[in-house]
Amino acid sequence: MIYKVQVEFSKKFLEITKDQIRIGIKSKPIKGEANKEIIKEIAKHFKTSTASIHIKAGHKSSKKIIEISD
């Protein structure tokens, strides 16, 4: 499944509507820490492993495309 992700900083939340995810994280976007937290939080929500979640585009952007594989 492919999702468009909008990232916001300084507040923690997760909202999903159709193929879009809005996520708030506390980590700073330094050395990939924010991306790690995004993957961890999405994996926890979907009850899957972090290895099944891949950032396809937007590694250095607040707008990302992720893929969740089974």
Convert the pLDDT of each residue in 18-70 to its tens digit.
999 999 999 888 999 999 999 999 999 999 999 999 999 999 999 999 999 97
pLDDT on residue 10: 87
Q: What is the pLDDT of residue 70?
A: 74
How many other C-beta atoms are found inside a 10 Å radius of the C-beta of residue 44? 11
pTM of the model: 0.91
Strand partners, 68: 53
Query: Closest Cα partner for 20 from 53, 62, 54, 64?
Result: 64
What are the phi and psi torsion angles at 11 (to 5°)? -140, 145
